[in-house]
Amino acid sequence: MPALWDRDEHLYDDERDLVALAPDDHDRLNMMLKDFFGCLFKSRGQKERTDRQGLFYFPEHRVQYAGLIITTLLSAILLVGAIVSLLYVSERRIKLRVAILALFTCVFAGVVGLLTNAKRAEIFMSTAAYAAVLVVFIGNIKVD
């Protein structure tokens, strides 16, 4: 025996109309991806709703996966980019090395602060760890 009759009989046939009240990972990067690039995550062959122009569904896990890939690439590029940049600066140009270290550290702090939901203390700790890695790298470079 159906629980709903008449007009409401097929109200919940589409499983995408149901919402779970579980918390998701809503960091700034994922919100930006949803707001500005949501149309890129919709399912293939999915038609837009006829009652509203530009309304479509997209799976949340696709946005989460794209955010994970972007975050991983940015962190790797910032670390490897800083190391490669510092490697090609001669040992006698210590001021330039410190400037490069400061630049990459500021960019790292900006990326962590703008693209994640990290608190101030977490941003400070991660930036300090990043700078410490670069300082140790500078101290151990032996250029011939």
Q: Would you say how long the chain is, in residues?
A: 144
pLDDT of residue 128: 96
**What DSSP designation does 41 have?**
G
pLDDT by residue (tens digit) across 51-96? 556 667 778 888 889 999 999 999 999 999 999 998 888 777 888 9
> Does the predicted model carry a pTM greater than 0.75?
no
pLDDT of residue 15: 73
Q: Is 75 helix (H, G, I), strand (E, B) or coil?
A: helix
CA distance readout (Å), 29 to 78, 81, 84: 17, 22, 27
